[in-house]
Amino acid sequence: MSPTALLTRNDFAPSEADDFGVALGSLDTPIGQLNLAATPQGVVRIGFGYMEAREDMMSELAELPCSTGQGDPAWVDEPIAQLREYFEGRRRRFELALDWRLSHGFYRRVLDELMTVDYGTTVSYGELARMAGSSRAARAVGTAMSTNPFPLIVPCHRVVRSDGSVGEYGGRPEVKTWLIEHERSHCG
């Protein structure tokens, strides 16, 4: 995976709208295809194509109370543009509205704290647990990372093991390593 590869909209999976107010988009990145879903409130979900099909992601979203009618495909345009800038090394912080319906309680608190971890840096699961106010909850932090509805935007790839090793990331530690190295190479 080359850090110079550019993010482009997937021509075979254009943005489309479903029947309950969620817009969908897909894009190819140096780490594989990303699937995005957005509501009028903001990005509601990002999924890795190698982990789940768009249909699986939509099954998860079908249980949410959403507005009736079709979502506006334009809702995914800005998230796609900002992700493109991120992969090009031109964006360090996302400025997007997020629809937090899929995250609650402690997991949400962990993700809120995670958003304060700077681009190009890492934090351990234990450190993030302390930041979220539960110093003994490192394993729960790991679960929060695995249920993060907004990978990349809420940078769970910046959370590493206490020994500095990367650990898992959607079942592919090489993706996490690539993201950490990508950020570090654009910090200068």
SS3 state at 61: helix
SS3 state at 183: helix
So which residues are the catalytic ones? 156
Cβ(47)–Cβ(34) below 8 Å? yes
Nearest to 27 by CA among 7, 47, 46: 7
Neighbouring residues of 100: CB distance < 8 A, sequence distance ≥ 6: 108, 149
Number of helical H runs and strand E runs in the chain: 6, 7
Question: DSSP letter string over 117-176?
Answer: SPTT--EEHHHHHHHTT-TT-HHHHHHHHHT-SSTTTS-GGGEE-TTS----STT-HHHH
Cβ(139)–Cβ(159) below 8 Å? no
Neighbouring residues of 51: CB distance < 8 A, sequence distance ≥ 6: 170, 171
